[in-house]
Structure 1
Amino acid sequence: MTAALTGEIDHHSAAWLRTDIETAINDSRPRLLRLDFEKVGFMDSSGVGLVMGRLNTMRRLRGELELVNLPDYIRRVMLMAKIDRYVKIK
């Protein structure tokens, strides 16, 4: 399953993204969740929290999480937060 993220990921948008993605995960029980950041124009630390929360969900389902199409600055944020230790970044 791929969740295509768009726009800005901040405190406000992360809350509804979390709800939407969790609903989709619970409905389809995917073995792999890809978060596609191609159309994300801004992300603050709420985006890191969004990723870690979905990682925990996918681990409970014995599934995997991948991050794809990260803009350079988001890739740097994820690497600084050491997200790559837990999640595949492509």
Structure 2
Amino acid sequence: VLSSIDAAEAETAGGGTLCLRIALDYSARDMIVAAGREAAGSGEWTRAGFAESLGRVMHAGEPAPDVDLLIRTGDEQRLS
């Protein structure tokens, strides 16, 4: 997977119009636990405080634009 990503980045390095976001399956449990720890450490034990902590944990990377097209592989079909 990493070599394919590296090749795609190299081939499209000059582009500036589109943004490709690749999502791999993972469990969000670690993010929920991290947000709980952050909220507990700051004393923000409210629904809004936890939601804010979860937002910070989930979006810790570089900001990316909203997704215009989502292609799911496999047999799973659902709204996201």
TM-score with structure 2 length normalisation? 0.30
More helix by share: 1
Computing the radius of gyration over CA atoms, which structure comes out larger, 1 or 2? 2
Q: Greater relative contact order (Cα 8 A, min sep 6): structure 1 or 2?
A: 1
More strand by share: 1
